[in-house]
Amino acid sequence: MAAVRATFSLGRVAGIRIGVHWSVLVIFVLILVGLAGGGFREAHPDRPVWQYWLASAVTAVVFLLSLLAHEISHALVARRNGVSVDDITLWLLGGVARLRSEASTPGAELRIAGVGPLVSLVLGALFALAAGLLDGANDGGLVVGALAWLAGINILLAVFNALPAAPLDGGRLLRAMVWWKTGSPLRATVVATAAGRVLGWALVGIGMYLVLAGAAFSGIWLVVIGWFVIVMATVEGGQAKLRELLGGIPVSDAMTPDPVSVPAATTVGEFLTDARFRYRHSAFPVVDNGNIAVGLITLKGADAVPETERASTVVARVMVPVDDLPTRPDDPLARLVPELEANPAHRALVLEGRDLAGIVTSSDISRVTSWLMSSSAWRNRTF
């Protein structure tokens, strides 16, 4: 999926960074107002006002935790199947687990995609069971209402995510099945993303009908979700074709060899004033002990150091560590693309052992892609 950057971090769960985008506040407020001002008040009248708001706030938080559990399940199963996970971000339309690469087999894709809806379904069943037990024991009131709402929304989340259309989990299940049948991950992605666009336009159409019928809020919400599905399905399709286009090409064919580098002991002040680092690039590899790569320094990162501290601060203190960047010259270029997109620096250092061999930027990949796209062999290719 396209990157959604976290506004602030919640820490780590099972070693995975968890972040929250500011748009989560929209979900929280919608649930809070919808339940406190409507659902709970109508189902359980004559309660103190604070009880409606408290129950609604707790329900909204538990729902967000349910979304997080859904995404964490994807991340954990992905790691067990050899796919690295960068982070998880909760945002307006749910959650995004950012994976560094694609599943290597249809079976791995099936397991990674299938666990999310399964977890949501299990959570829905547990909330429903808890609601039933409390309601049977005594009048649970707002607690039973909250549990019942959480049961329904998690089951709805599971069903919606299981729809066979990208970028939903069901789209990845469909992709796994087509991949298994045809042996072509690209053809499988084309089928899943086409289904995603159909679903997206269907949601947009239903939403517009609801707006015209007078249900403006529900209609607009469906239009937003439908448009999101269309955009993300289109992006996934483009990414799949890009991976196929770059298949078999090593990183060494795209990298800039022997780039201008900055010694680790250089101060930020020297880096910003040295003529060698002016006007050419916005980021430079950092090396130590000759040519051993230790990181990447960006002009933005260096410029963020207060002027009074630049003479005493070495670039090694403000650089991006090498462990977040390295690759090898013989690595497939297609595997590097999602890592470059996910990394804020949009660059990768190419290493031979620990020595710096080159640097790859998004511009380098665009140059290779443009050249390949101009070839008649690619233009005449069918999928």
Of 275, 56, 50, 52, nearest in space to 149 by CA: 56
Of 104, 103, 231, nearest in space to 166 by CA: 231
Alpha-carbon 380 to chain mean position? 33
Residue 141: both structure tokens together: 């009131």
Residue 135: both structure tokens together: 């309601």
Q: How far is CA 350 from CA 11, 300, 322, 347, in A?
A: 30, 22, 10, 10
Q: Can you tell me the distance from the alpha carbon of 171 to that of 240, in angstroms, rounded to the nearest whole number? A: 14
Active-site hit among 42, 71, 307, 339: 71
Q: Can you tell me the distance from the alpha carbon of 89 to that of 2, in angstroms, rounded to the nearest whole number? A: 12
Find all residues with CB under 8 Å of 207, minimum gap 6, and list them.
218, 219, 220, 221, 222, 223, 224, 225, 226
Q: Is 71 a catalytic residue?
A: yes
The DSSP H or E segment spanning 348 is strand 347-352
Could you give the dihedral angle defined by the CA atoms of residues 16, 22, 23 and 24, in that order, rounded to the nearest 10 degrees? 60
HSE-up of residue 7 (Cα within 13 Å, Cβ side): 9
Q: What is the DSSP string of 152-168?
A: HHHHHHHHHHTSSSTTS
Per the CB < 8 A criterion, the answer to whether 324 and 306 are in contact is no
Taking each continuous run of H as one helix and of E as one strand, the counts in the chain are 13, 11
Per the CB < 8 A criterion, the answer to whether 356 and 261 are in contact is yes
Cis preceding linkage at 321, omega within 30: no
Residue 145: both structure tokens together: 């209402």
Core vs surface per residue 349-369: b (16+ CB within 10 A) or e: bbbeeeebbbbbbeebbeebb
Tell me which residues are annotated as active site: 71
